[in-house]
Each structure stands twice: as structure tokens, then as C-alpha cells.
Structure 1
């Protein structure tokens, strides 16, 4: 194996993709949540320079077209396919998965980047709290429905990957609340608490997916960093961000309290989790600054007993068993 560079806080997604260009070459990658001015878009853009196919998703096809045009303008050789996907609807997830399953190509990497807006209490079409529904339950079902597409990418030298964009902020929460995960309670709801819970669920799912697949799929979770993207610029998200001093009174990043990454820096760890061959023997790991950082995971988000329980509870919510 050739020597790869060491990455840091300031490493950009472009630098990571360039380092792993041979690993990306020929791959088909599906990335959720690829709107302009977000880390999913930047992830798609840099991967598209080297990949065989990049499938970009969103619930709004008009916005998706803008992302496709922007990527193709920057990368004329990019092979981009748009997929309408509403993660806040289990029926919507099933419809999108059926479309992907009709494609001739296997899926080498599935990247769960999309997230619901942090804001006032809302429920999905299936009656789930918006963040846990969009950030955890929808992605869980999508992975389950696409597992045969992922396994079809397997070769003697390649194991398909599933990547969950989590957050270091998971550690500020209490982990997954099994009392409300399927029965949301507006009385006890906290916008940031729901965010922490959803991000804990991402880490736990990566751990359990890696375990249950018995080496057939390598799953990873990650902290992208604190980044000023489209999701924390939404009007409904600003009060919660200000309450935690993430944004100042002016709605702009609080640079005195936090060290911020640019969008290119924020997308770097996703690309590393998707393609770094050095982590192939460490499935279920959590990354930060494009490196494994399992020591940064809170105990409530790394406990294998909790991971197994979450898997079983989520199967009940979607009404389907997720087996291999």
C-alpha cells in the first residue's frame, strides 16, 4: 500500500479525495442531502472528480437540479444522477429505494449526510419526531432496502461502506430515549436534545451494522466539525443555535467559543470515512478530523447493548426485519 498523507483539522475534502483518487475510481456512490452550501454537496463535488457515478438526493428536485448543474459546471466529466428522496416519509424512502434497485450498477458507498432542521417540534408523515425520523429511521430503512445493491459491489479486495454523518455534539445529550423514539412527546421535546439523540443513533447504527453484517459491510460514523452551512442558517434553527452560543446575536458563527471549519474542511472526514483504506480493518469506528477517534464517543453512544436494542426498536418502527 502506498503511503497516504496524515490529515488534520484544516484538511479539505478535495485533498482527501485526491489522496484516495485510486480508491474512488470506478466507484458508485449515493449521498443524501446534497443541497448547495452544505457539506453533502461538497462531498458529492469532490467525489465526482474521480468516481464512476455519484447519485445525489434531496426531497426537492428543483434544488437537486441546481446542485447537479453546479457540480457539472465545476467537474464537466462528472456522472451525476438525481434521486428524489424524502427521508421524512417511510413510503418516500421505499419509493426511492425501489428506483435505486432498478439501476444496473451496484452501490459501493452509501453516505447518510441529510439531516432535518433543528427547530420547533415537528413530526414526520409517519408520526415520528422530525429529527430522529429523518436522521435515523429513514436512513436505517434506506440502508436495509439497498443492502443487496451494496453487497453486489463486493469483490475479494473490496468491502462496501455505509457512512453516517453524526456529530461530536452527541456527547452533550443523554443518548437515545427509548420512551419517545417511536412515540414523540412535545411536552419534553428540546430541539437540541433531539439533535443530540439523532446523532447518537447514527453512531450506534454504524456499530451495529458493522457487527451484524459480519464483515460484509463496513460502516462508519463521524464528526464533520462545526460548519456554517445551509442547515444552521435556516430561520427556525437560529434560536436553538443561539441558545447554545453556537451562533451570536447577529446569527453569525460564534468564533470566540468554537473553532469553525469551512465547508471544504467540513466535508473532508466524510470522504475519509468513505474511502480511506487504512480504516478497512476497523469497521464501526467514529472519525474526527479525517482520523479514527473512537475515544471521543460517549459511553451511551458506544455501548453494544444499546446499539442492539436500538436496532431492534427501529425494526419495529419500520415494520421490517433488517437481516443479511
Structure 2
């Protein structure tokens, strides 16, 4: 069988069909799986062959809708809903404890957490952190920390567990304001810049997680492309102000190239299962291929990765260790 070639038009199911043996026998966790999200489309591509697919979201009712949709397409799929609200540190801890109590191993964690954040007005969450930075970085960092021993325990001589951080090409247009990470300041807040900052954090964390785990966890970050999934009014208004959406609230396809959800999820599935990137933890993907040349200087700097890791540990008040 020839090695498949992927590009901007590749769909998530096409990637999954190319590497079914990389999915079989695996327990895979996908966050943010509401029906109109790229998280759902990712889960849809993996459900057929996964040994166990854990789907997460804030609402158990919506998770049941997702489960029903997946089972309608794949009746024999083994689907397990898990309530996880990335806006709440307490919810993250509770969900991680449930995962750690499962008898099954955990092989792949796909942190599709961009859907959890509203790109809108300044808001502090219940943990007194800026909401985008918390939902897009701090909570995924904490969840990964808590389930890391279970991930590492699934390793074999030929397989290293993977963690995928869905970043964004927007990271290249931002910078990290180190002062406001621990002391949010509304006077310095710009919605899209806060989003970009959180996405820089995703890229840096993938690099540092791979490094600090000694490669025992292979972490990847990626840009899914411009995918019109958000219907949250605040986010739509922000995207309208930037020209990404029209005044009518529709994707501005005349100025920007948008992907379908199926195309957008393909890069995530590549990061999760493509054997050709085994041992390349820390790389950044776009259009279903490695695209390190697209990573900004801020997101490439090892010093920034180390500093962000330390700051995040300080925010949480605990160390991320790999005993």
C-alpha cells in the first residue's frame, strides 16, 4: 500500500480510513464534541474503529445527542459520555478522576478546547482567571497533568501515547502578556489578542510536554483552518469586526478561505493517528501535514515554553511531574 498524501482538502474520515490499525484497540478521548463542532467530526471519524471513544462536553444532555448521532452511524461503536466543563477547574478535576477510575487504558487525548471559549468581552471565570486563557490553556494543562500517569501507562515498545492541542493560525498574530496571565487586567484586554495568546500557549505546551515527559507522551499542536462553527453571539460580533464574518453573520468567503468541518478535523486526526509523525512530538501541523514553518517566533521560543509551564504550575499551585 502506498503512503497516503494529505492536503487542505483531506477529510477526517479519509485520514481515519488510511490508518485503521492505528485506531483499533485504542481508547481515545475527544473534548468539545457538540454536534456542530469539529470535535464531533473528529469523534465521528474515530468512532468506527476505536476500542472506546470518550466524548466530553459541558452538558450531559448534549453529550447524549452526540452519542445518539454516533451510534446511529456506527451502531457497534463503544461510546462513553463524560461531563467536562473547561471553564471550571473543579469540573476538570472531577472528570479526570472519572477517567483515572476507568478500567480501560487511555491512549490518545485530543484537547479540542477552542470551542469552549467565547471570543468576546472580558470575563473572569470562577477561578478568577481571564476566561479564554483559562479554558484554552490552563484547564487543558490541568486535565493533561491529572491523566498523564494513565496515558504513560498505556505505552508499549512501539507506541507512545499522544496528546493533541488544537491551536490556531491566529497564534502568529499575537504575543504573550506575561503580567496579565496571573493578574488579568480588563484595561489591556482585546478579545482576539487574548484568543491568540491562548493559542500560542497551546503550541508552547505541546513542545514542553513532549520535552518534559522525555518523549513518553508525544504532544502535537495544530491549526484546523478557518471553520465556521461558532454561533455564540459575542464570538460572531468579534469575527464580524475583523471581517471574517459578514454583517449578516455568515462566513466571509469572498475574503477568506473556509474549510468544512470534515476538512478542519482532518489535521486533528492526523495528529492523533498518523504513524509517520511518531517520535516527532512538539511539531505543529496545518492542512494535515507538518508545518513548523508557520509557527511564530514567540511560539517557537524554548524559553517561553519553560516560562509558561512554570507560570501555569504557579497558577494551579502544583507541579506537573512525570514520576
Match of 2:6 in 1: 7
Partner of 1:223: 223
Give, in angstroms, the shift of residue 234 of structure 1: 1.2
State the Cα distance separating 1:165 from its structure 2 match: 0.4
For residue 109 of structure 1, report the CA deviation from its aligned partner.
Answer: 0.3
1:69-84 correspondence to structure 2 within 5 Å: 69-84=68-83
Q: CA separation in 2, counterparts of 1:64 and 1:121?
A: 28
Secondary structure class of the residue paired with 1:236: helix
- SS of 1:261's equivalent in the other structure is coil
Residue 48 of structure 2 is matched in structure 1 by 49
Whole-Å separation in 2 of the counterparts to 1:275 and 1:124: 34
Q: Which residue of 1 aligns with 2:316?
A: 318
Query: How far off its partner does 1:3 sit?
Result: 3.3
Q: Structure 1 residue 4: deviation in Å?
A: 2.4
**1:193 corresponds to:** 193
Contact 1:39 1:264 in 2 (8 A): yes
Q: Is the 8 A contact 2:160 2:216 kept in 1?
A: yes
Asked if structure 1 preserves the Cα contact closer than 8 Å seen for 2:52 and 2:80, the reply is yes
Q: Which residue of 2 aligns with 1:64?
A: 63
2:243 is the counterpart of 1:245: yes
Counterpart in 2 of 1:299?
Answer: 297
What 5-or-longer segments of structure 2 have no aligned partner?
Answer: none
The whole-number CA distance in structure 1 between the counterparts of 2:63 and 2:121 is 25
Residue 87 of structure 1: SS of its match in structure 2? coil
> 8 Å contact 1:167–1:223 — kept in the other structure?
yes
Aligned-partner Cα distance in 2 for 1:186–1:62: 34
Segments ≥4 residues shifted beyond 3 Å: none
SS at match of 1:65: helix
Deviations 1:29-75 (A, max 9, x none): 01110001110001011101111011000111111111111111111
Instruction: State how many pairs are aligned.
Output: 320
* C-alpha separation in 1, matches of 2:135 and 2:248: 29
Aligned residue runs from structure 1 range 1-324, under 5 A:
3-115=2-114, 116-174=117-175, 176-229=176-229, 232-324=230-322
CA distance in structure 2 between the partners assigned to 1:85 and 1:319 by the alignment: 21
5+ unaligned residues in a row in structure 1: which ranges? none
- RMSD over aligned CA atoms reads 0.8
How far is 1:105 from its partner?
1.0
TM-score relative to the length of structure 1: 0.97
**Preserved contact between residue 34 and residue 114 of structure 1 (Cα < 8 Å):** no
> Contact 2:215 / 2:279 at 8 angstroms: preserved in 1?
no
SS in 1 for 2:125: coil
Secondary structure of the structure 2 residue equivalent to 1:142: helix
Q: Distance in 2 between matches of 1:63 and 1:122?
A: 24
Give the conservation status (yes or no) of the 8 Å contact 1:5–1:19: yes
- Which secondary structure does the structure 2 equivalent of 1:221 belong to? strand
Q: Is the 8 A contact 1:90 1:318 kept in 2?
A: no
Q: Deviations over 1:97-135 (max 9, x none)?
A: 111110001110001102312111111110011110001
TM-score after normalising by structure 2:
0.98
